[in-house]
Amino acid sequence: MNELELKKVCKIYEGTVSYQALDDIDFTVKSGEFVGVMGPSGSGKSTLLNVISTNDFPTSGQVLLLNQDLHRLSEDSLAQFRRSNLGFVFQDFNLMDSLTIRENILLPLALEGTRFSAMKQALQEIAMQLRLTEILERFPFEISGGQAQRVAIARAIIHRPSLLLADEPTGNLDSRSSHDVLSVLEQMNQDFGVTILMVTHDPIVASHCHRVIFIKDGRIYNEMYRGEKQQDF
C-alpha cells in the first residue's frame, strides 16, 4: 500500500519577489519504508515536510496520505486524521521543561482524553522499547540529548501513527547519541511497521534508510536505494 504519494506538488511563496520552493515534486512512499531526504540548505526540505504535515498548503498538486487527499479534507477531519496518522520529531526535541518525561510522553494522549489505564499500558510498552523506564520521573534538563530525542520519539509514536516525519532528528546530537536515536527509529520501523520520512544532512544517518531522495532547488534530482553505490553518497 502507498503510505504517502505526492503528485506534481509545487509551492510558490508569494511576496515582493515570488519564490518557487517546490517544483513538480512526484514521489511515493510505501507503507513500512524508511526514506531519507537530503539536499543543501534552502533546497526545499522543510517546505516539503510542511506540505506533507499540512502545516502549509501546496500551490498546486496533491498530497495523498493513505490515499486521502489531505488538502481537501475539512478542517475538523484533517485535524482528526493528522492526530491519528502522523507523528513528528524535530531537531530541537521540543519537550516541555516544566513537565516530567512521563508527562511529556503522555501529553498527546491526555489531550485526546485517552483513559488512564490505556495510557499507562501504552507508556509502559514504549518506555521499555525506548529504554526510558529509569528516567520517567526526571525533567528534561536532567537528561542527555540522546535521551531527550528518544523521549520525543516516544511522544511522537505513542498513539501509533502510520507515518513519522522527522526533521534532522540527529542534528543536535553527538555521533554516539545519533547512532542510538537511529537504532530506535530503525526498531520502530521494523517492529511496529511505522513508515518514516526523515530529513538529514548526515550521509551516515542517511545510509540507514532504505531509500534516499535528493532534492535541490525544489526538485528531486536523484534517488538511491540502500546497497547502490554512488559518488555523492
Residues at the interface with ligand ADP (CB under 6 A): 13, 15, 19, 21, 39, 41-47, 49-50, 53, 55, 88, 90-92, 167-168
Q: Give me the least distance between CB of 115 and ligand ADP, in Å please.
A: 25
Q: Give me the least distance between CB of 56 and ligand ADP, in Å please.
A: 8
Cβ nearer to ligand ADP, comparing 47 with 189: 47
d(CA 56, CA 63): 11
d(CA 182, CA 117): 30
Cβ nearer to ligand ADP, comparing 15 with 113: 15
Cβ nearer to ligand ADP, comparing 79 with 118: 79
Cβ nearer to ligand ADP, comparing 51 with 135: 51
Q: Give me the least distance between CB of 216 and ligand ADP, in Å please.
A: 9
Q: Give me the least distance between CB of 75 and ligand ADP, in Å please.
A: 16
Cβ nearer to ligand ADP, comparing 43 with 178: 43
DSSP result, the chain: -EEEEEEEEEEEE-SSS-EEEEEEEEEEEETT-EEEEE--TTSSHHHHHHHHTTSS--SEEEEEETTEEGGGS-HHHHHHHHHHHEEEEETT----TTS-HHHHHHHHHHHTT--HHHHHHHHHHHHHHTT-GGGTTS-GGGS-HHHHHHHHHHHHHTT--SEEEEESTTTTS-HHHHHHHHHHHHHHHHHH--EEEEE-S-HHHHTTSSEEEEEETTEEEEEEETT---TT-
Torsion from C-alpha of 63, 69, 75, 81, nearest 10 degrees: -90
Q: Give me the least distance between CB of 97 and ligand ADP, in Å please.
A: 17
Cβ nearer to ligand ADP, comparing 21 with 63: 21
Q: Give me the least distance between CB of 124 and ligand ADP, in Å please.
A: 26
